[in-house]
Amino acid sequence: MSANLKYLSLGILVFQTTSLVLTMRYSRTLKEEGPRYLSSTAVVVAELLKIMACILLVYKDSKCSLRALNRVLHDEILNKPMETLKLAIPSGIYTLQNNLLYVALSNLDAATYQVTYQLKILTTALFSVSMLSKKLGVYQWLSLVILMTGVAFVQWPSDSQLDSKELSAGSQFVGLMAVLTACFSSGFAGVYFEKILKETKQSVWIRNIQLGFFGSIFGLMGVYIYDGELVSKNGFFQGYNRLTWIVVVLQALGGLVIAAVIKYADNILKGFATSLSIILSTLISYFWLQDFVPTRVSLCRQARVLWPDLGSRQPPTPWFKAFSCLSP
């Protein structure tokens, strides 16, 4: 049973990661009449959906008893205010990160975004060493160096890009800065969240409820500050369509899938799922979205990024000890 759940969670993670990147990219570049949906409101709705899903999971764990559910929520959240407040830091960072991902995918093709976002492996490693006192072997540091080199090659313009005089509608520099900032926020928030989980015995679902609560507050603050005028003019759900709701549901599903992978699988499978998602995103970005033109050089660049993600997470060798990460 546990083996089936392991591979089921792996498959869902690959599906969720690939689908979210592609649908988000497509929804942000699709040209339609009327205003485009606000990414800040989408982040808030995703947090609320995640809270609702986690409450249902806690309800199931409480043997479908409303009285038991109320007691668990009261004891684990209301009666432990300091433990709950600890989640405010990663929650605020995750909210910032989710907004940055919309910015990144509005200005980068899906394949470039997926490859560049793998720098979060490096930031996670650095924060794991500094915050959790973890030790990495020589081969792991070598893999991280190769990862950095691969991402640098991905961002390096090709000859055809240098010769082209056409300007893209989005700014690649803005997208690059957004995804790099998301990488650092993902690394820090993931390691911080892992540290909290290891120091307490609360369930992952309770922690996700706490994260979602603060995430909703921070998200609503962002809506008011940056998009308050647009919301008052066109409404909170302006520009929402079926595709938008798919993106929101997939984003909410992300936190739940990561929790399931951590519970039933491990970080080796998580790294494999991420790499497989990059390959699928590249193929679909080329054949469906048609916003990525692969060349021999670009494929070699992506292979350079995938090698440390796959190669350094193969079934453990004597020197291998994987570092863990709880990032969305």
Q: Encode 55-107 in three state secondary structure.
A: HHHHHHHCCCCHHHHHHHHHHHHHCCHHHHHCCHHHHHHHHHHHHHHHHHHHH
pLDDT at 73 over 70: yes
Lowest mean pLDDT among 134-143, 182-191, 249-258: 134-143
pLDDT of residue 220: 94
Region 268-296: mean pLDDT is 62
Averaged pLDDT, 12-24: 84
In the chain, where the domains are located: 1-31+38-157+165-279
Mean pLDDT of 51-73: 92
Structure tokens at 230: 């647009």
What's the predicted TM-score (pTM) here? 0.72
Per-range mean pLDDT, top range of 199-213, 224-238, 300-314: 224-238
What's the pLDDT score for residue 133? Answer: 80
- pLDDT: which is higher, 26 or 232: 232
Give the range among 1-5, 9-13, 16-20, 238-242 with minimum mean pLDDT: 1-5
pLDDT of 241 over the 60 cut: yes
Mean pLDDT of 142-155: 64
Give the single-character DSSP code of 170. S
Q: What is the arithmetic mean of pLDDT over 17-24?
A: 84
Q: Which residues contact 326 (CB under 8 A, 6 or more apart)?
A: 190, 193, 194, 197, 258, 262
Q: Is the confidence at residue 103, as pLDDT, over 80?
A: yes
- What pLDDT shows up at residue 271? 56
The whole-number pLDDT of residue 294 equals: 54
Rg of the Cα trace of the chain? Answer: 20
Query: Residue 326: pLDDT above 80?
Result: no
Place of tokens 């109320």: 70
pLDDT score recorded for residue 299: 47
What is the band of 312 on the pLDDT scale with cuts at 50, 70, 90?
very low
pLDDT > 60? residue 168: no
Question: Is the Cβ–Cβ distance between 177 and 101 less than 8 Å?
Answer: no
Residue 207 · residue 197 · CB < 8 Å: yes
pLDDT of residue 187: 84
pLDDT of 235 reads 93
* pLDDT at 3 (0 to 100): 63
